[in-house]
Structure 1
Amino acid sequence: MTAGSIFVWETLGTALLILLGAGVVANVTLKDSLGKGGGWLLVNFGWGLAVFVGASVSAPSGAHLNPAVTLGLAAAGKTEWADVPVYFAGQMIGAMLGATLAWLAYKKQFDNHDDPAGTRGVFCTGPTVASAPWNVLTEVIGTFVLVIWILLSPGVELAADGTPNFGNSALGYAGVAFLVIGLGASLGGPTGYAINPARDLGPRIVYALLPIKGKGSAEWGYSWVPVVGPLIGGALAALLYLALPV
């Protein structure tokens, strides 16, 4: 697959992922939304199904949608290193586009929300207890589970170029959706389970730029945690994969 094709499919898939993922958080958070107060499980299901949609659509590129996945596959020898920057670029641009579309879909609800300073969580993650080393560790563990599942799951076949082949609309895509729901339910409590640098950084940038009246800080001091933690987790998953007799 050409670099241009990888970029297009990763951009489209990640945009849909973030549109639906940020959308479910907006639905649960904003006071004039029908989903207000829907709770953590609704957020988890929404994010899981967002992954299903994004991955299904971006199947031609291998549906990475996540720099930590791309790094893990490259480190495991399953993706060409030359393609890594292209994947990263598509994922970041797609994440920013999806976050912008989610804001547009809920524009009037943002305008009427009674706590505009508390809307950052619609776009990006944050810790419930701030402790950088432990917050990083949480993201490492969650992302490790995601990437090692991709590398080892018998329902996932890796093509010769290293892209995971779930089969569009096959159980594999549903499988990764269930995994994301499970990760949120089990490990999402401490940090909101970014487990994806593009998913967090792209929307955080967009939040900083959007004209949301009365919005709060983008919390740049924390922004490195959901980038570094997932990348470490993806790399560790690759090291384990290489060490196993597979």
Structure 2
Amino acid sequence: MNSYIAEFIGTALLLLMGSGVVANVVLKQTKGNNSGWIVITTAWALGVFIGVVVAGPYSGAHLNPAVSVGLAIAGLFDWNLVPGYSLAQVLGGGFGATIAWLMYKDHFDITDDPSLKFAPFATAPAIRNLSSNFLSELVGTFVLILVILYSTGATLEDPQNTPIGLGALGALPVALLVWVIGLALGGTTGYAINPARDLGPRIAHQLLPIRGKGSSDWSYSWVPIIGPLLGAALAASTFLFLGT
């Protein structure tokens, strides 16, 4: 499988699960309505597991521009591949969220609150304070990338040993990592920690004919893009400073 296609499919699967669980929890008359944060964080983590299992052997299963950038800064990934990976991830994220919308369309249609219709697509802060929201995304992504850098098995002397996911065994630690970040650090912004996870679905929300939808909140959209990218850069710099 082509690595770009693998990134598209892996990220689409991640967003199908992630957008799907949020829709299941927040929309009216679903089987999982009001089942809570533990359900959301668990499904997002298992969505990462699924995406990594599928894409890992072909692309390393970054599924996140912040991962691609972090690995590139650390010297463990080719910078020339970053734009293509990032585009595939953004497109895959939008596609996965669109499929989730189609599956839950009846429930979107009977849900009145536009903010609940938006929630399955992109993140929004619990308390809107852009400086602290930005810090939340930076810190969450810093943890994500730093642990990934130390868990890939790659070293500066052996930069080719970089795949994050090589089957189920390789995928499980990344899923657990995303799970604990969601449980511990996700309550402030919804823990995008991934520009593609937020931007692709946000674009989908803007374009799709969702009945009664509200704003796609573009004034906030820079937070889950720049915050994770800066967090990735700081994590990679820390990795290089501390050594491997």
Smaller-chain TM-score bracket: over 0.9
Q: What residue identity is the alignment partner of 1:206?
A: A
Of the three residues 170, 176, 179, the one matched with 1:178 is 176
Give 1:129's aligned residue. Answer: 127
User: Paired residue for 1:65?
Assistant: 63
**Structure 2: gaps (5+ residues):** none
Aligned to 1:16: 13
Distance (whole Å) between structure 1 residues aligned to residue 164 and residue 43 of structure 2: 23
- Name the TM-score, length of structure 2 as normaliser: 0.95
Cα deviation per residue 1:174-195 (whole Å; 9 max; x = unaligned)? 1111111111110001100000
Does the CA contact (< 8 Å) of 1:116 and 1:212 recur in 2? no
Could you tell me how far 1:61 is from its partner in structure 2? 0.2
Residue equivalent to 1:227: 225
Asked if the contact 1:144/1:236 (under 8 Å) is kept, the reply is yes
Partner Cα distance (2:179, 2:8) in 1:
23
- Distance (Å, rounded) in 2 between the aligned partners of 1:161 and 1:57: 20
User: Structure 2: how far apart are the matches of 1:15 and 1:161?
Assistant: 26
Q: Which runs of 5+ in 1 are unaligned?
A: none
CA drift at 1:161: 3.6
Deviation string for 1:109-158 (max 9, x for gaps)?
Answer: 111223245311111101111111111111000000000001112xx323
Residue equivalent to 1:87: 85
Contact 1:116/1:213 (<8 A) preserved? no
Give distance in 1, aligned partners of 2:30 and 2:110.
Answer: 10
Provide the secondary structure at the position in 2 that maps to 1:58. helix
Distance 1:107 1:245 in 2: 49
**Count of equivalent residues:** 240
Counterpart-to-counterpart distance in 2, 1:69 and 1:76: 11
3-state DSSP of counterpart to 1:228: helix
Return the alpha-carbon distance in structure 1 between the equivalents of residues 199 and 123 of structure 2: 9
Within 2, Cα distance between the matches of 1:41 and 1:147?
A: 23
Shift of 1:94: 0.4
Percent of paired sites with the same residue = 51
- Is 1:47 aligned with 2:44? yes
Residues 80 and 161, structure 1, Cα contact 8 Å, conserved in 2: no
Q: In the alignment, is the contact (CA less than 8 A) between 2:148 and 2:164 conserved in 1?
A: no
The whole-number CA distance in structure 1 between the counterparts of 2:132 and 2:52 is 30
Letter in 1 for 2:231: G
Partners of 1:31 and 1:113 within 8 A in 2: yes
Match of 1:30 among 27, 41, 46: 27
Q: In the alignment, does 2:153 pair up with 1:157?
A: yes
* TM-fit CA distance, 1:91: 0.3
Aligned-partner Cα distance in 2 for 1:58–1:188: 25
Matches within 5 A, 1:115-126: 115-126=113-124
User: For 1:165 and 1:176, how far apart are their aligned partners in 2?
Assistant: 8
* Residues 61 and 163 in structure 1, CA contact (< 8 A), matched pair in contact too: no
Where does 1:191-202 land on structure 2 (aligned, <5 Å)? 191-202=189-200
Q: CA deviation at 1:162?
A: 5.8
